[in-house]
Amino acid sequence: MAGVLELIRSSQNQRRLVKRFVKVPRVNPKVLELQTAMEILAEVFSIRISEVEEMLQQRSENMEQWPEGFTLE
């Protein structure tokens, strides 16, 4: 029992030290969402993240070629 209490105390002390001295950078949630989506695409298509980035870049460039309000006459 004393060993368990010692582990709890030491882990609490470590948390305090980490909270005091380590600054965790805030990450934009949209960046995390995009990163997660890219990882999922890479997994689904069995490709590298760099290939996913290239796919997204090409898609973005293709979207820029079409006018926003494209209609057929």
pLDDT tens-digit profile of 11-49? 555 555 455 666 778 888 888 898 999 999 999 999 999
Please indicate, yes or no, if residue 56 is contained in any of the structural domains. yes
Domain that holds residue 61: 26-65
Confidence band of 3 (pLDDT split at 50, 70, 90): low
Region of residue 46 (phi > 0: left; psi between -120 and 50: alpha; otherwise: beta) = left
Please indicate, yes or no, if residue 37 is contained in any of the structural domains. yes
Query: Following DSSP, what letter does each residue of 8-64 receive, concatenated?
Result: HHHHHHHHHHHHHH-PPPP--HHHHHHHHHHHHHHHHHT--HHHHHHHHHHHHHHHH
Please indicate, yes or no, if residue 54 is contained in any of the structural domains. yes
Please indicate, yes or no, if residue 40 is contained in any of the structural domains. yes
Number of domains forming the structure of the chain: 1
**pTM summary value:** 0.52
Please indicate, yes or no, if residue 1 is contained in any of the structural domains. no
Cα–Cα distance for residue pair 40/31, rounded to 1 Å: 14
